[in-house]
Amino acid sequence: MEHHALAQANPGAKPGPHVLLRVKDSGCGIPSEVLDRMFEPFFTTKEQGKGTGLGLATVYGIVLQSGGHITVESEPGRGATFRIYLPRLENGADTTTLGRGPGAAPGGTETILLAEDETNVRKLARELLSSSGYTVLQAKDGNEALKVAESCQAPIHLLITDVVMPGLNSNTMVRLLRTMRPDIKVLYISGYTDTTLVSRDVIRSGAAFLQKPFSPDTLARKVRETLDAPPPQPKTKH
């Protein structure tokens, strides 16, 4: 595919020369209902406990962070073809920096309250954050998050919450939480792209937001960025 055709077919792709990496197999193929979700973080067709669902989501995140794009074509019984387009370096790589890598993802020692209703997602996110040095408190929904915050005697520096959860919605939960802990910072995450589902208030307020799919490195950097941002300002009444 020519680079201008790639940019037209995929709005997220950058125009310009690209290098194409194509990987093709002759396996059993991928059903359409799986194909639509295969880059979604934590989505897996394996049995519970057999897979994290982060493999392809991590690949997707790395490719996008590199300014590239990834596509997949497949039909049952006809295998699958993955195409990764990466922007071509016109002047070649700087050999003095080869092998150094981008550096380790930032961590910290703050306390984070993680509100997530899916057990596997919550467990894996806790492991990722704990390995970065954070103390992680967990809650399976908004009501439990409020109970955890009320019972915790130590400061809680950041709330990470999925926008869409059963029961108490995230906006109400955040509002009630800030009556107890007005300085707490909030990072919203969601796999939904429809603004009617991803809460217009979250988008309009400019709140910290991380769109799924994301890689562990992206999560670590967004958490650090949110923690280092200025504290939330109380709303003034008119």
Q: What is the pLDDT of residues 60-90, one digit of tens each?
A: 777 777 778 888 999 888 899 998 888 887 7
Q: Over 90: is that where the pLDDT of 2 sits?
A: no
Structure token digits, residue 73: 């074509």
> Domains plus CATH for the chain?
3-87 (3.30.565.10), 111-228 (3.40.50.2300)
What is the four-CA torsion angle of 87, 92, 97, 99, rounded to 10 degrees?
70
Q: How confident is the model at residue 98 (pLDDT cuts 50, 70, 90)?
A: very low
pLDDT for res 64? 74
pLDDT digits (tens, 9 = 90+) for 126-151: 888 998 999 999 999 999 999 999 99
State the Cα–Cα distance between residues 11 and 15, nearest whole angstrom: 10
Find out whether 87 and 202 touch, Cβ atoms under 8 Å. no
SS3 19: strand
Query: What share of the chain has pLDDT > 70, as a percent?
Result: 71
pLDDT tens-digit series, residues 4-43: 555 555 555 667 788 888 999 988 888 888 888 887 766 7
In b/e form, how buried is each residue of 139-155, taking b as 16+ CB within 10 angstroms? Answer: bbbbbbbbebbeeeeee
Phi, psi of 86 (to 5 degrees): -120, 135
Who wins on pLDDT, 232 or 18? 18
pLDDT of residue 173: 93
Q: Is the pLDDT of residue 199 over 60?
A: no
Percent residues over pLDDT 90 in the chain: 31
* Mean pLDDT, rounded, of the chain: 79
Checking if the pLDDT of 214 tops 80, the result is: no
Listed ranges 75-79, 99-103, 210-214; the one with the highest mean pLDDT: 75-79
Identify the pLDDT of residue 183: 93
Continuous H helices in 103-159: 119-131, 142-151
Q: Which residue did the predictor score with more confidence, 128 or 180?
A: 180
- Give the pLDDT band (50/70/90) at residue 197: very low
> Higher-confidence residue: 218 or 48?
218
What is the pLDDT at residue 165?
A: 82
